[in-house]
Amino acid sequence: MLKTFSLKTSRRVEFLNITGQIEKTLAESRVKSGLITVFVPHTTAGVTINENADPDVVSDMIGYFNKAVPFNDNYSHGEGNSAAHIKSSIFSPSLTLIIDQGEIILGTWQSVYFCEFDGPRMREFYVKVIEG
């Protein structure tokens, strides 16, 4: 089963919790054991897993990566979004989750985040459920 999701980001750099969309896709698939792949088809966005309990974690991550990879640093790329390309490569365009007994295996405080580095924009991500 493959499902496409659209979302609208509202800031230049933003992490959006997409765990609910992934869990909904799994429930619709009725798969009890296997894998889920989440894929972001953009060169200035990515996906990651991190803490969902304290929003300061996401804020701290955004602050750190904006310092580590500044928006303006004499980059050669003419579009002016080289920092977004670099950040998306540090993260990843995809991740794989394990399905067991019809549930995604995540730690107590973990969620999946869509990571925007060149917003605001309309974006897509794909969720593929693989039984097995």
Q: What is the DSSP string of 60-96?
A: HHHHHHHHHS-S-S----TTS-HHHHHHHHHS-SEEE
Per the listing, tokens 């929003």 go with 55
- Cα gap 91→97, rounded to integer Å: 16
pLDDT score at 78: 81
Structural domains of the chain, ranges and CATH numbers in brackets? 2-131 (2.60.120.460)
Average pLDDT of every residue of the chain: 96
- Cα gap 2→115, rounded to integer Å: 21
Listed as ranges, residues in the chain with pLDDT below 70 are none
CB atoms within 10 A of CB 107: 9
The pLDDT tens digits of the residues spanning 96-106 come to: 999 999 999 99
